[in-house]
Amino acid sequence: MLIRARESALIVIDMQERLVPAMQAPARTIRNTRLLLNAAEITGVPALLTEQYPQGLGHTVPEIRKAASDSTILPKMHFSCMEDDGFADAFRSLGRRQAVLTGMEAHICVMQTAASMVEAGFAVFVVSDATASRTIESEQACIARLSAAGVSIVTTEMVIFEWLGRAGTKAFKDMLPLIK
């Protein structure tokens, strides 16, 4: 199944000030999430961001907040975003049937959100090079478990080029310098 811009939403989970420094490869995760946020804006894909217990874990890191421009940032307490009524309502109101997930921690909030979305009938894509956990073992276990459950494991460039769909368009020309 292709990831289509008109059918998907980008979900950026808990990329917060006190979480990011503890993650494996945080710079890669931030860089790729920024690229996805830029691509989402260029291709008209709505984005939602979450913050797990922001009073304790801080807010979304500035690099992501800036790239998200005017996207909604929702606080939450549940590990699965879909268990939080505010997020679930905001996501459903977008009217999209595909969810592209990035964020932290892969094996906790990303995994539980993806599983909840699959249970609710959505097509879910987890961006492996834009998610992170504190240990590589946790990341690998998350990817293996989600893949076995029918979640598509993708990369940043897979998402971007599927959203773009073809070369030669204005969106393609706008995105190309950011990818190189």
At 88 the pLDDT is: 97
At 147 the pLDDT is: 96
- Cα–Cα distance measured from residue 8 to residue 37, given in angstroms and rounded to the nearest whole number: 13
At 164 the pLDDT is: 97
- Dihedral of CA 116/44/170/34: which sign? negative
At 180 the pLDDT is: 79
- Strands across the sheet containing 8-13: 72-76, 47-52, 8-13, 98-104, 123-132, 152-154
At 132 the pLDDT is: 97
**pTM of the predicted model, to two decimals?**
0.97
Cβ atoms of 132 and 105 closer than 8 Å: yes
pLDDT values of the chain reduced to their tens digit, one per residue, 180 residues: 999 999 999 999 999 999 999 999 999 999 999 999 999 999 999 999 999 999 999 999 999 999 998 899 999 999 999 999 999 999 999 999 999 999 999 999 999 999 999 999 999 999 999 999 999 999 999 999 999 999 999 999 999 999 999 999 999 999 989 887
